[in-house]
C-alpha cells in the first residue's frame, strides 16, 4: 500500500503518464463528459468530494503550468475563482504553485474537454467548479 500521495490508482496512473502540455479536467457533478474521454467518477453525494479537495490532492502531485477556467466562473462562483487564484499564484502553502490562469467561454471549455486525458468528476454542486490542469515539466 502506498504511504504518500494519491491512493486512487486510476488518478495516480494518469498523472504518471502525463507529458508536457497534456491536460486533465477536474469537474463538478454536472459537467458533461465527452464520449470517448475517460471518466474517473469520485462523486459520492452532492458536495463530496469537493472541487477544492480534489484539486488540492492533484496539485500536490502534479506539475501544473496552466489552469483554464470558464469565464462564467467570475460571476457564477467567486469562491472557486478565489481558491484557484490563491492556489496557483505561488503563495507559500502546501499545495500552491505558480501557473498561468486563462479563461474561455463555458462552451469553449466543454469543447476543450474532448482532448483531455481524463475527466475527474467530483461531487461539487456549485456552478462552474471546473478546471483544466495542463501538465508542466519538473526538472528538479
Task: Please enumerate in sequence order all residues whose Cβ is within 8 A of that of 78, keeping only pairs 6 or more positions apart, or say none.
Answer: none
Set 4, 10, 20, 115: catalytic member: 20
Q: Is 10 part of the annotated catalytic residue set?
A: no
How many Å apart are CA 135 and CA 49, to the nearest integer?
23
Query: Which is nearest to 102 in space by CA: 85, 82, 124?
Result: 85
Question: How far is CA 10 from its chain centroid?
Answer: 15
- Active-site residues, by number, are 20
Amino acid at each position: 500500500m502506498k504511504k504518500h500521495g494519491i491512493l486512487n490508482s486510476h488518478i495516480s496512473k494518469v498523472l504518471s503518464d502525463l507529458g508536457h502540455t497534456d491536460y486533465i479536467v477536474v469537474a463538478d457533478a454536472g459537467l458533461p463528459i465527452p464520449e470517448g474521454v475517460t471518466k474517473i467518477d469520485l462523486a459520492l453525494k452532492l458536495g463530496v468530494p469537493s472541487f477544492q479537495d480534489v484539486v488540492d490532492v492533484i496539485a500536490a502531485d502534479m506539475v501544473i503550468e496552466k489552469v483554464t477556467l470558464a469565464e462564467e466562473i467570475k460571476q457564477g462562483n467567486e469562491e472557486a475563482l478565489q481558491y484557484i487564484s490563491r492556489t496557483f499564484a505561488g503563495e507559500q502553502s502546501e499545495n500552491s504553485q505558480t501557473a498561468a490562469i486563462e479563461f474561455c467561454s463555458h462552451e469553449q471549455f466543454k469543447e476543450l474537454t474532448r482532448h483531455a486525458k481524463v475527466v475527474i468528476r467530483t461531487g461539487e454542486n456549485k456552478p462552474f467548479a471546473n478546471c483544466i490542469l495542463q501538465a508542466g515539466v519538473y526538472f528538479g
